[in-house]
Structure 1
Amino acid sequence: MAENINRGYLEEHELEAVERGAKIHETGIQKNKSSRKKYQCVANGRQALGNHVSENPRAYRIVFLILLNIVVFSYFAYATVYWIRNNSDCEFEWCDGYGMLLLLFAFTYFGIFYFCIFKRYVLKYVKRTLRPFGRSLKRLRARKRTYFLLRTAFYISVLAAAIVFLILDTINDRDRLISCLGVIVLIGLGWIFSKHPTQINWQPVLWGLILQFSFGLLTIRWTVGRIIFQCVSNKIETFMNYSIDGASFVFSNELVNVIQVFAFAALPVIFFFSFFIYILSYLGVMQWVIMRIGWVLHLIMDTTICESMNTAANVFLSMSESPLLIQSYIHKLTVSEMHAIMASGFATVSGTVLAAYISFGAQPAHLITASLMSAPAALCYSKLFYPETEESQTTVKNIVLEKSEDSSLIDAAVRGAMAGIPLVLSIVANIVAFISFVSFINAILSWLGGLIGNDSLSFELILSKLFMPLSWVMGVPWEQCEYVSTLIGLKTAVNEFVAYQKLGVYKKEGVLSARTEAIATYAICGFANPGSVGIMIGALTVIAPEKRDVIVGVAFRSFITGSAVCFLTACIAGMLINEDYYSTISSSTNSTTTVLSILSQS
């Protein structure tokens, strides 16, 4: 009986458990249904909003831009009020603080006004107004004799103005006029050894010199231009120094900031700069800037569009990266265009390696100025040393710069950082190998010299004697020519990294004056060295293997052209820089200035 009672009790409990489970299951189903309804409502709302946005993109874009501008103007207004309350004298530095914010605000909204209003609604009327002037200019060009006389008169006037300026500017320092002799010697040698001396188009040659001299005046002699350019160079240096935080995290603060090992302290900035360049390329900013600068060079200097674009790109990118922007047209280039593209790569340096030069003690302002001045000079000397004798197959209308292949902004950033790896390894390998090689050569020369009683014989000593005349015509005082000659020899025979490392040693020893140091910085600011020739040939033959014979054939001439351009830039700098340059530039950048005081200095 007890057994029956227990069995009945268990069955009753099992039945209750089953019923409870059923109720729980039903409750779960009801909850799932209610949650599904909620999620479905959210999904339906999101889909409806997405459909509304896709159907009215213009309205939502306008609303977003209005809100963004409200935020920007509110911040600017608050910053202005804060500055007024805390600066009773109303003085500010244009290169920092509120002054920099004011400039950025003005440039940003000027750009918005130009692209959104002026270019869209007003520019067509301006073009229509200037159209008769364009037709008159074409008719004038058709009258070749008259156009030739007017152009000749213009060049003579510019030359006369430059001569008068230099005579007046060098009243207290006639030694600076020696640099004029350097320009004459370099241009004369380029003409004598030109590939086709009777077919030289002098327009790009003369305009290249004019632009180079004008850039020098703006950035070296004009006070306002010098202040602006020094500000830009300081901002670039500050931007590059942010890489120190990343390098310290990876390599430790002791290696980066205390001991300052070159490979860990200077080279990591290449990763950061390459990271940034790839982002700008993905956004199309880099292509836009290069296209505009190249178009200006093409218009003024009458050079072809491909070589102009490539030269503009070399101000920012390396000699092996710039041709990638026009890789679809490399196989169409004439021999002279190929020579110009290679020469412009040898005549300039890329932004990614500036930090390495700065770490050796080179002035950022001089490096940036040298790159800008060498761009038109590269086209100038290229067209002198290897004139165009063929018809170019590319025009402004049919050229399009290569777009970024990155799938997203993050992809571009990652690829940019990774792209710095081979460059850093290449720099480290070259410095280790070539400095070791120079030490090996010095040991052999010292041994050979010791056998004849001259233990001091070295590779640097030979180079210091070989390039002394060139150093002198660039404007270097004779007693310092031996040092600059050594730097030129190291840069030409080894590479510019070794040369800048030696310049840093000279700077610490105090053997060079401020002006001589500046001239030397300009003279060695280029990729023209034997290793770069191999890199350039390898990069271009991969892009256009069918042009291998042409590339190899003009490699040596382009190497000579690139070196000559660096020396030509140094000559222009030697004309314009006096011994007071550093003191005036330091006072102009360290003092708090107003708008009126800056303008009064000019």
Structure 2
Amino acid sequence: MDSMGDKDSMGVTNNAYELDHTDLRRSNPEFNNKTDYQVDYSHDHDLSVDRRETQENSEINKWIKRGLHLILQIAIVGYFVYATYHYHDINEYDCKYDSSIPLCGIRFCTGYGMLVLLLGFIYLALFYYLIFKPKLGLFLHKNYLHPAAVKWHIFLRKRAVSIACIVLLLALLVIYLVFETKDEPKKLYSLVAPCFFILCGYVFSTKRSAIKWRIVITGITCQFLLGIICIRWEVGRKIFECLGNKVATFLGYATDGARFVFGDYLIAEEVFAFAILPVIFFFSFFISVLYYLGAMQWVVIKLGWILQQILGTTVCESVTAAANIFLGMSESPLLIRPYIQKLTKSEIHSIMVSGFATVSGTVLAAYLSFGASAAHLITSSVMAAPATLAISKLYMPETEVSQTSSDTIELEKSEDASLLDAASSGASNAVPIVLGIIANIVAFVAFVAFLNGLVSWLGMLIGHEEVDFEWIFSKIFMPLAWAMGVPWADCDKIAKVVATKTIINEFVAYERLGALIDNGEIKARSAGIATFAICGFANPSSLGILIGSLSAMAPNRRGMITSVAFRAFIVGSIVCFISASFAGILLQEEEQQVVYDKIFAKLAHRNATY
């Protein structure tokens, strides 16, 4: 009570003081004239004026943006209308509903058809993100799609349901294989390699009791289904052929920059370091721009989410597997750099397998220059995405609890200050990549030449001069080539290509494969199988590069990284061999011959124009 009284009296006293002080100020004119006690309203007036001007400027800027958008839309629509009129005008037939030519003869991979696809995709995306998703999409996801997805996942987790789904899936695959190989039963030989490697995975698994067969079977099935879509299904094959041609055309523009810097002679003679490798500068430049804009992160996180939902793998390994479709083995882990410290041993193993089992877009042009099919290279990387997760979880299953989740992960953003800075740094960052490729090729080719000379000398002493180091490895890899579906007559040559990729690198392997195709020494289907088999970074130099890059991102995990590196190297190679086996089932000799005839005709025309 006393304290309450003290507080009340204090409050009264203070109020009285304030009232007395105010009265004193009012009654004393000299006191009123002192500027220290005058209330200055001019500052508030200036603030209100500034605020009003800011609002007006914001409104003006908003209307300017709307006006620019309107002008842009009018220009795009006007251009499309004129392009449509021009396209109709240059065609010799009338576009009618009952026309025998589908879609009025529009070729969606070139010219007007590509314009239709691009504009359709852009406006469909704008409609989805600006209108459908905020107005209706979020409501549908919250009230219907998400609850249905949760119930579906719970339903699939039931043991009986999982077993039934797996049995049904395997039955459908068997039925498809019967129809696919009824005219060429020898194609079934291609199943030997996948079955052998799956058996080896079970035998040499770090913990067989922890293997999640749902991930393994679903991942390998997705790999085969992607192969059917991209290779066997006519529409899918045309889409990937178109995509491959566009990628090849896009990367081909790097030749103009290389010719300007190095001159026509080095480009015309196709000197590897000057005519082929400069494309890495161009592609790195482009990827860095996409990374700065956030487009690369968006695509990768969406693909990673799809893999995570289908396979049930963790978010970091799923995102990295998706990123390796586009990026290299050193660049893709950068997307999850803050989380590498928290990854489990199995997750690090999966990330390394993803790097070894794919190639990056920066080196595609080099392979294309040797005669590789762009469609096959892209298809191989796409097929490898689910397979790397499946096979890696077979050889090293998860035994720990993941410390990352889709709710907590946030992909790294670009540190570049502007778009121009991103473009410049992207090109500059490619310098060590190019120098590393040159250094490794020189060193490893020289070392293998030394081993060839040494083994050849030893063979000469016993009367077998034909024996060298690569000959020995080719004989070791011959059963593997046969198990992937290569005809026995081509097994020796394909085995030597696979051995070259394993002990040197894929650049030299593709160069030798291109020479075999160009000289007609192997069948086109065998060449296609080999293209898939060597489409990965699993070679000794890449092993050191990946260990170094991951160790730099997580120094305290270096011991764990080095302990799983060699196993990941082997498993990454196995993923490529399984993709090649599935390609062996799906590829057709006649179709492949047409593909390679076109490729080498195009290369011959390009060389003739230089």
Both proteins in one fold, TM over 0.5 = yes
For 1:113, the equivalent position in structure 2 comes to 127
Query: More displaced, 240-249 or 491-500?
Result: 491-500
For 2:115, the equivalent position in structure 1 comes to 101
CA separation in 2, counterparts of 1:300 and 1:239?
A: 32
The gaps in structure 2 that reach 5 residues or longer are: 1-51, 94-103, 600-610
1:281 to 282, 287, 291: 291
Residue 66 (structure 2) pairs with residue 62 (structure 1): yes
For 1:34, the equivalent position in structure 2 comes to none
Query: What is the Cα deviation at residue 202 of structure 1?
Result: 1.1
Query: What is the Cα deviation at residue 211 of structure 1?
Result: 1.1
> 1:413-451 CA distances to partner (integer Å, 9 max, x unpaired)?
000111111111111112222222222211112211111
The alignment partner of 1:580 has SS state of helix
Aligned length in residues: 538
The gaps in structure 1 that reach 5 residues or longer are: 1-47, 590-602
1:570 to 559, 580, 584: 580
For 1:133, the equivalent position in structure 2 comes to 148
For 2:164, the equivalent position in structure 1 comes to 153
Code of the aligned partner of 1:254: Y
Cα pair 1:227 1:588 within 8 Å, conserved = no
Code of the aligned partner of 2:320: N
For 1:218, the equivalent position in structure 2 comes to 229
Query: More displaced, 410-419 or 424-433?
Result: 424-433
Query: What is the Cα deviation at residue 584 of structure 1?
Result: 6.6
CA separation in 2, counterparts of 1:339 and 1:240?
A: 32
Query: More displaced, 427-436 or 277-286?
Result: 427-436
CA separation in 1, counterparts of 2:594 and 2:133?
A: 40
Distance 1:159-1:320 versus aligned 2 partners, 3 A rule: same
Residue 166 (structure 2) pairs with residue 162 (structure 1): no
For 2:251, the equivalent position in structure 1 comes to 240
Q: How does 1:30-109 map to 2 (within 5 A)?
A: 52-89=56-93, 90-109=104-123
For 2:387, the equivalent position in structure 1 comes to 377
Distance 1:585-1:163 versus aligned 2 partners, 3 A rule: farther
For 1:444, the equivalent position in structure 2 comes to 454
**Greater RCO, CA 8 A, separation 6+:** 1
Cα pair 1:499 1:524 within 8 Å, conserved = yes
Distance 1:138-1:155 versus aligned 2 partners, 3 A rule: closer
CA separation in 2, counterparts of 1:180 and 1:106?
A: 41
For 2:531, the equivalent position in structure 1 comes to 521
Distance 1:139-1:547 versus aligned 2 partners, 3 A rule: closer
Query: More displaced, 416-425 or 275-284?
Result: 416-425
Cα pair 2:524 2:593 within 8 Å, conserved = no
> 1:467-497 CA distances to partner (integer Å, 9 max, x unpaired)?
1111111001111111111111111122111
CA separation in 2, counterparts of 1:487 and 1:140?
A: 47
Query: What is the Cα deviation at residue 265 of structure 1?
Result: 1.1
CA separation in 2, counterparts of 1:391 and 1:371?
A: 29
> 1:75-94 CA distances to partner (integer Å, 9 max, x unpaired)?
10111111111113242321
Query: What is the Cα deviation at residue 135 of structure 1?
Result: 5.1
The alignment partner of 2:589 has SS state of coil
1:506 to 494, 502, 516: 516
Q: What TM-score, normalized to structure 2?
A: 0.85
CA separation in 2, counterparts of 1:138 and 1:253?
A: 60
Distance 1:480-1:253 versus aligned 2 partners, 3 A rule: same
Distance 1:133-1:199 versus aligned 2 partners, 3 A rule: same
Distance 1:51-1:551 versus aligned 2 partners, 3 A rule: same
CA separation in 2, counterparts of 1:139 and 1:316?
A: 33
Cα pair 2:373 2:596 within 8 Å, conserved = no
Q: What TM-score, normalized to structure 1?
A: 0.86
Cα pair 1:474 1:574 within 8 Å, conserved = yes
CA separation in 2, counterparts of 1:135 and 1:174?
A: 43
Distance 1:208-1:74 versus aligned 2 partners, 3 A rule: same
CA separation in 2, counterparts of 1:425 and 1:86?
A: 49
Q: How does 1:333-482 map to 2 (within 5 A)?
A: 333-482=343-492
CA separation in 2, counterparts of 1:321 and 1:586?
A: 31
CA separation in 1, counterparts of 2:335 and 2:151?
A: 36
Q: How does 1:183-198 map to 2 (within 5 A)?
A: 183-198=194-209
For 2:210, the equivalent position in structure 1 comes to 199
Distance 1:97-1:477 versus aligned 2 partners, 3 A rule: same
Question: Identity over the aligned pairs, expressed in percent?
Answer: 49
CA separation in 1, counterparts of 2:407 and 2:146?
A: 19
